[in-house]
Structure 1
Amino acid sequence: MSSLAKPSNDTGRKSAQLFRMVTEDHVCPYGLKAKALLERKGYVVQDHHLKNRDETNAFKAKHDVQTTPQTFIGEDRIGGYDDLKAHFGKPVKKAGQLTYTPVIAIFAVAALMALAISWASSGTLLSIRAIELFIAVSMCILGVQKLRDLSSFSSQFLGYDLLAQRYVRYAYVYPFAETGAGILMIAGALTWIAAPTALFIGLIGAVSVYKAVYIDKRDLKCACVGGDSNVPLGFVSLTENLMMVAMAVWMGTKAFAL
């Protein structure tokens, strides 16, 4: 890499050279991440800005690379941001890699929101109402994830839901039903609508997931957090539906008892 500027060692610290796009209308986010990672690792970063498309293309051609940013440490080209992460032993997420992270994030936030609402309304953290709120808030958040791209959700949902495969429009109705039932359950209103709705979609969903995963042994992605997710269809998806069923039975029982 003799064509590169000689790294400065004036400070006695490790030095790295970073080439990234910084133009009037675009700052490469991965370039910023690479710079921050290098600095966290104790490197003095010689930060070279590629200020327009011509400079960027010339750099790519000169070093025979397809993307920027590019990091050089000493005489070695480390590569892009993912290559830099791998160089430092950090995990690199592969395209299409299955993950439960979105579901964990949703359930964790829903649990904290339920506790917060319970505390604000009754001064109590752990209560039956907090559990009710957790399920209802989870339904709302999961519903919003589906509603943000109905077309994408419906396409993935049709891959395994038994009712949607027979009546395609159900795939478009489902997110509204889930969200609406969750909102009504949070309010404690119109239980005669919320409970049957949650019971219906929960039972259909549970049967569909169980058949696809445990009987047909199909390897599918779950549409529970939206159609573009890489969450595997399985136990978590089944749990989501069984939670709705349990909530519907509980709320219906309470309403009948009153």
Structure 2
Amino acid sequence: MKNTLLLLLLCIGSIRELTAQTTEKCCDNATCRAKAVSYAQTISALTKTLGKYQPQDSANEQLLAQLQRRNPQSYEDFVRVSRQTATFINDTLNGTCFADALPDDEANNVFQWLVYMNRQHIAHPDFPSSEFCNGLERRFELSQGAANILSNQVAYLGTLRGYLSYTFARAGQCGGRLRLMAGPAVFLRGNTFYTTLSTRVAVRLTDISVKKIPIGVGNINAYTEYNTSFVHFNQVALGAEVQLGPFGLNLSVNNELKSARMGFAVGLVLFHQPFKKRS
């Protein structure tokens, strides 16, 4: 049971894959599978040399100190491979291929040492945000709020948007900082509909990760946007968003330029996906 829970925690990043179906499973890719097997064999051999994980941190520190005195090279290899394995599991968003390559009687010990080593040696883990990967993506977003909130003529404000998005990052890599979005939107203010062009610039501020376990689960980004019908409706907004895989929740404060009427909107990202599957 403990092994199952640890495996579930290590693979929680794959929730994004299961929903958006954007990431190829590691075991379906020959290169990724070979890496998983290699990491499993290496870390398994090293944990055998190190010994059984203990519930007390002090006992584990003693085991590591003994290994460092007895075999400094094995100690350095263990620290390095522990970090590399954790990064590999996070980057592929799929720990099952790695787990399947471990001997059944050693898997629990390996995962416990992996969690311990990354908790001890990576105080501030850095995960390349899988939501800010290079390339074109599509987004569908629904929001609602209120307009004219500083007057006695408060009106309902609802929006339906479809975005074409491009994230700037190194080719084929994730962890970018800047995202540009543009697309059609329909605004409902009070009883009046407006068909608009909506544009947005988003900047990733930080990633959301579980520090004690080598996984990233999402990001926090800030954005500014401009919405225009080119005639009767022109609006600017500032907002912040929590994005978890293909889903997200955002809050923005907006201002209609001609009337200077303030409003707000709470948005729900129903999906944000790349056009092509990422390998």
Which protein is richer in strand relative to its size?
A: 2
**TM-score, scaled relative to structure 2:** 0.26
Higher relative contact order, structure no. (Cα contacts within 8 Å, ≥ 6 residues apart): 2
Which protein is richer in helix relative to its size?
A: 1
Which of 1 and 2 has greater Rg?
Answer: 1
